């Protein structure tokens, strides 16, 4: 199958393509891409790749093999990096992203953001729209939570990542956040993947709790093929049979993902274990196995958190974890990423 993208503003690309199919092949689908382009899937004319690619309205044409091609490691053997605020995710530096599971109040978010800064985190995570298994649990502050995140970013300089649950909310969340998180439960919400694929904003795509790696990479391809190449993966545990663990953190899957795809891969040991006392060990293991960073849940008083308190570190525990990551990173030939200008304040 051929994946063809138009040049921006080229309305006639579809008729150009049809004319050059000469009744052979099928135009299966067309879709909106980033930067005002359109994409086209054309079946049955793989031998016409060069001819279609040379059309004046066509920006690029390539042969794709289902279910994922563009995110395969071979496409970019050196790996790709995704800019998040002033930092790069996926390069030599290991990134620490930290924050509460859910944004609860300005005071809570301020306390956690200050702890994240002291620990040397380069990003603040926090849910405003919370997908909860029970409809009776805290669902997040919604727009108010987004506003609090944006305010705390202004105050601290920490770029923020927060979840978007529906295609309708993509623009609103993108107005407030530096990176959009797609949660585990939405990894195969294809309309949502398409919606974040056609905007120009980094996406943190969490692995589904029951996704195989191939299904997961196909989900990433949904975003990537629409032109948004700023995709960061995150292993957050898969459903296992051990009732003592909320999930089973698939670190072997992380090592394999790093070989299968050029996309950066983070690890979330908070959801991956469900137990705060295990989070530091699994975060260090993530670094050792070659992940590009970790996403850590933190709450000033985990025992009263409105969501995921049992797996949340205290600010002090976050700082201690950060202190232990730095020498380990150096031993592995890497460094911890730092926000520019925050070197002196970092605790490590
Ligand atoms: C979260 O990050 O708080 C979250 C809900 O994660 P997941 O989608 O991995 O369960
Ligand atoms: Mn959570």
Express each pLDDT in 9-33 by its tens digit.
Answer: 888 999 999 999 988 899 999 999 9
Report the mean per-residue pLDDT for the chain: 96
Residues 205 and 108 in one domain: yes
Residues 203, 55 within the same domain: no
What integer pLDDT is reported at residue 67 of this predicted model? 92
Give the DSSP H or E segment for 41: strand 38-43
Residue 343 lies in a domain: no
Range of the domain at 250: 73-336
Query: Are 29 and 131 part of one and the same domain?
Result: no
Residues 121 and 7 in one domain: no
Q: Domain ends where: 28, 63, 98?
A: 63
Q: Are residues 56 and 95 in the same domain?
A: no
Predicted pLDDT at 343: 53
Please report the atom of ligand 1 found closest to the CA of residue 131. Answer: 5
Cα of 185 vs centre of ligand 1, distance in Å, is 8
- pLDDT mean over 239-253: 98
Structure tokens at 73: 């490691």
Pair (53, 166) in one structural domain: no
Atom 3 of ligand 1, nearest CA residue: 101
Q: Are residues 59 and 79 in the same domain?
A: no
Q: How many domains does the chain have?
A: 2
| Per-residue pLDDT at 183 exceeds 90 | yes
Round the CA-based radius of gyration of the chain to a whole number and report it: 21
Q: Within a domain: residue 342?
A: no
Q: Find all residues with CB under 8 Å of 106, minimum gap 6, and list them.
A: 148, 151, 152
Q: What is the mean pLDDT of residues 294-307?
A: 98
- CA-proximal residue: ligand 1, atom 1 (nearest): 101
Q: How far is the CA of 69 from the centre of ligand 2 (A)?
A: 31
List the Cα angle 232/172/174 in 5-degree steps.
30
Same domain, yes or no, for 270 and 130? yes
Q: Look at residue 287 and give its three-state secondary structure.
A: helix
Residue carrying the six token digits 């202190």: 323
Q: Which long-range contacts (CB under 8 A, 24 or more apart) does 325-331 make?
A: 325/94, 325/96, 325/283, 325/284, 325/287, 326/120, 328/284, 328/287, 328/288, 329/94, 329/287
Are residue 252 and residue 234 in the same domain, yes or no? yes
Q: Is residue 292 part of a domain?
A: yes
Under 8 Å CB-to-CB from 201, ≥6 apart: which residues?
A: 174, 177, 178, 179, 180, 228, 230
Tell whether 16 and 120 lie within a shared domain. Answer: no
> Is 184 near ligand 1, meaning CB less than 6 Å away?
yes
């Amino acid at each position: 199958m051929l994946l063809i993208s138009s040049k921006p503003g080229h309305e006639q690309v579809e008729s150009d393509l049809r004319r050059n199919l000469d009744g052979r092949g099928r135009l299966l689908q067309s879709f909106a891409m980033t930067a005002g382009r359109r994409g086209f899937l054309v079946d049955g004319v793989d031998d016409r790749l060069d001819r279609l690619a040379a059309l004046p309205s066509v920006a690029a044409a390539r042969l794709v093999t289902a279910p994922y091609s563009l995110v395969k490691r071979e496409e970019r053997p050196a790996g790709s990096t995704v800019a998040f605020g002033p930092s790069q995710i996926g390069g030599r530096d290991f990134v620490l992203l930290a924050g509460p599971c859910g944004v609860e109040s300005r005071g809570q978010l301020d306390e956690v953001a200050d702890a994240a800064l002291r620990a040397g985190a380069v990003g603040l995570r926090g849910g405003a729209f919370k997908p909860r298994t029970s409809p009776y649990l805290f669902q997040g502050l919604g727009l108010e939570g987004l506003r609090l995140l944006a305010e705390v970013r202004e105050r601290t300089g920490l770029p923020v990542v927060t979840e978007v649950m529906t295609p309708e909310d993509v623009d609103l969340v993108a107005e407030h956040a530096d990176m959009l998180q797609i949660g585990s439960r939405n990894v195969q919400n294809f309309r949502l993947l398409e919606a974040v694929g056609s905007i120009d904003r980094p996406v943190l795509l969490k692995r589904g709790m029951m996704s195989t790696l191939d299904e997961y990479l196909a989900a990433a391809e949904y975003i990537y093929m629409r032109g948004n190449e700023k995709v960061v993966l995150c292993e957050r545990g898969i459903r296992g049979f051990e009732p003592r663990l909320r999930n089973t953190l698939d670190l072997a899957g992380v090592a394999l993902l790093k070989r299968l795809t050029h996309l950066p891969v983070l690890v979330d040991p908070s959801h991956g274990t469900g137990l705060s006392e295990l989070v530091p060990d699994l975060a260090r293991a993530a670094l050792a196995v070659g992940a590009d960073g970790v996403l850590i849940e933190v709450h000033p008083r985990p025992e009263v958190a409105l969501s995921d308190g049992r797996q949340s570190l205290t600010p002090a525990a976050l700082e201690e974890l950060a202190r232990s990551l730095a020498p380990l990173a150096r031993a592995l030939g890497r460094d911890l990423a730092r926000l520019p200008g925050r070197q002196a304040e970092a605790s490590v």
